[in-house]
A and B are shown apart, each in its own frame.
Chain A
Amino acid sequence: MIQEIANALVQSWRNFATAFVLFVPRLVAATVIFAGGFVVSLLVRRAVQRLLAWLGAGRLSERTGASEMLRKAGMPTAERLIAKIVFWIVWIGFIVSAVDTLQFEPFQGLVEEFFRFVPRFLVALLVLAIGFLAGNFLWRAALLASVNAGLPGARVLSGALRILVIAIGVVMALEQLGLATAVVLTAFSIAFGALMLGLAIAFGLGGRNAAKQLLEQQLQAKKKRDEDAAPHL
């Protein structure tokens, strides 16, 4: 009995020792990958930042209005932001590789998953950026058009349009990432539908007369606002 217990203990110890001996090199490798990855990521970040500066990304970002938006959001410049994103993508890649090197059962296939995710992530970022740019452009155009037309609440109208376009961009980006697609799409559809329905009911029932009056006034105001250019030329 005692012998059997001793054998089991020895066997257990041997298994542990074997596993430990097998694990240590993987741990060392993972640590090296982790630390080395950090250094490489830092270098890549610096290189990307310099490359973007050389390509004039800062000016492009100024021209597109992205810089202004980033400043308002308390974020770094576009060059720094992109370099940071690249840093995290590269470093997370190394972290995933390091974890994969440890060969833990639950994390098997993590590297493949990660590399499948990266392109989707980049596309999502692009969609988000386009959404922001389109939102800004449309906001500006709508604000100027409605001010020129003398519409009341021009800022509210154009602001709502900007939020809507950016929201569509965010939803599309999240869908691209595959993050809670159904929840996001459903929430967006419900919110958008409710908003439109609410407006339709408010305008159709509650504000029918007000709407009529508003449109009539609008027409009058527009005629009044269309000043003749003749005395100015």
Chain B
Amino acid sequence: MENESTLSDALLRQLIAVGQTDILVGLPTLNNATTIVGVVRAVHECFTRDFPRLRTVMINSDGGSTDGTPDLIRDASFAEADMVQTSHSLRTLHRVVAPYHGLPGKHTALRTVFAAGELMQAKVVVVIDPSGPATTAERVTELIGPIARSDVEFLAPRYRRHPRDGVLITQLARPLVRALYGVALDEPLGSEFACSGRFASHCLEQDIWNHEAARFAIDLWLRTEALAERFVVGQIWRPATTAAGTRTTLREAVRQVVLSLIESLRAHEPFWLKADGMAALRTWGTDPLVVPDAATWDYQTLAEHARHDIVEITPLLEEVLEPALLARLMDESPGARSQLDDELWVRSVYAFAAATRVGRTSIEHLADMLAPLYMWRAAAFMSHTESESPAIVQARLDSLCETFLRLKPALVARWSAEV
């Protein structure tokens, strides 16, 4: 049994004591002491107020917090004076706290949550990001509702962003995933989600969990796995998240995103090679409509770094990019004001994707090589859209997605040639 090897004996005993459940909320934590109490109370309020007749459980899978996060969860009171409870749960509220064992990383925490869900035959599994925006009972309920009451089996968050925000998502992850999987998914990398117990069990059977890249690729993989295996996928409006607390450097972030994308491409090759078109996804929740301000950052310095790095790694780029493509890139001379047009960017991304198939250069090296190109693209995009209205910038993003889709046959041909 998958469960037996994933769950520790102590956790197994706790779960067996709880028995079957309808809704499981998972909280993967790592040093979230500042926010976790509010999240726990919100989850309990949601259980008590909105699902009093259902069997519910909240499972914390902790990655070894040193700030007492598990203790705070254990001790968190949910009978606060300022919490207005309109109803009381007809069932016992269960709260299970367990450190996960196995490889360190979010994927192991999720695996523990999924395994618990399978063991307890949960119908709905929700994963909340404790470091995300303030979690309220309403927001937890919003995540549970569509899975519990409709045929959707995977619910991905959708954020109202400024179109100049999240450039790594809008210039690479989103258009690539959309073009390859043929689905208008907005946020391929969000950390919160809800899914059916069936989907959780399906994921447990896959061999992603022991992959090194799964440590950071799991969020993307879950979404693409749901798409590739034809589970009904939907989106839900969520409050915009901010990555301001992240300690990751840009190059490391590019590396992780590229490795995640390649992990998914490899896993779902039979699906995306044949997928075409662009299907819309049903969206739940309320569109916030108000577009937040775009983050400001020094893209001119980024362009200088990109220019320097591209010149330095030209001999490596020669191994990946076709001579004509490389010549065009070099002619453009990377810089904040220089244009790296959509087609050139997309062809470059596809050349890198195809190179991972050839296997001549390690994927980690390819990811590092793509970073300066991305930096150039990001700087050029920011420069060109500096004085444009959000609507025009959004049109540019849509056009980029179309270019990814239009040029996809070139990637399919190159990828298939290497089979």
The chain A residues found within 8 Å of chain B, CB to CB, are 62-65, 68, 140-141, 143-144, 147-148, 150, 154-155, 224-233
A4 CB → nearest B CB, Å: 82
**Residues of B in contact with A, size category:** 35 or more
Please name all residues of chain A whose beta carbon is closer than 8 Å to the beta carbon of B332 when the two chains form the complex.
none
Known: A229-B253, A230-B295; 16 extra A-B contacts, CB below 8 A, are A64-B360, A65-B361, A143-B312, A147-B309, A148-B251, A228-B249, A229-B243, A229-B246, A229-B252, A230-B242, A230-B245, A230-B246, A231-B296, A232-B166, A233-B166, A233-B253
Please name all residues of chain A whose beta carbon is closer than 8 Å to the beta carbon of B359 when the two chains form the complex.
63
What are 26 A-B contacts with C-beta separation under 8 Å?
A62-B360, A63-B360, A65-B319, A65-B361, A68-B319, A140-B365, A144-B369, A147-B309, A147-B313, A147-B372, A148-B251, A155-B312, A225-B305, A226-B251, A227-B301, A227-B375, A228-B246, A229-B243, A229-B254, A230-B243, A231-B167, A231-B296, A231-B297, A232-B166, A232-B254, A233-B168
Contact present for A141 and B365 (CB under 8 Å): yes
Please name all residues of chain B whose beta carbon is closer than 8 Å to the beta carbon of A143 when the two chains form the complex.
312-313, 315-316
Contact present for A227 and B248 (CB under 8 Å): no
Contact present for B168 and A140 (CB under 8 Å): no
Please name all residues of chain B whose beta carbon is closer than 8 Å to the beta carbon of A65 when the two chains form the complex.
319, 360-361
Contact present for A226 and B312 (CB under 8 Å): no
**Candidate in A68, A224, A233 with the most chain B CB atoms within 10 angstroms:** A233
The yes or no answer to B208 lying at the interface (CB within 8 A) is no
Please name all residues of chain B whose beta carbon is closer than 8 Å to the beta carbon of A226 when the two chains form the complex.
249-251
Report the bound CA distance from A18 to B214 in whole Å.
Answer: 83
Which 10 pairs show the lowest CB-CB distances between chains A and B? A229-B253, A232-B168, A231-B295, A227-B250, A233-B243, A230-B243, A144-B368, A229-B248, A63-B360, A226-B249
The yes or no answer to B189 lying at the interface (CB within 8 A) is yes
Other-chain residue from A224, A228, A229, A231 in contact with B165 (beta carbon distance below 8 A): A231
Contact present for B249 and A140 (CB under 8 Å): no
Please name all residues of chain B whose beta carbon is closer than 8 Å to the beta carbon of A225 when the two chains form the complex.
305
Name the interface residues of B216-262: CB closer than 8 Å to any CB of A.
242-246, 248-254
Contact present for B316 and A144 (CB under 8 Å): yes
Contact present for A227 and B302 (CB under 8 Å): yes
**Candidate in B246, B313, B358, B361 with the most chain A CB atoms within 10 angstroms:** B313
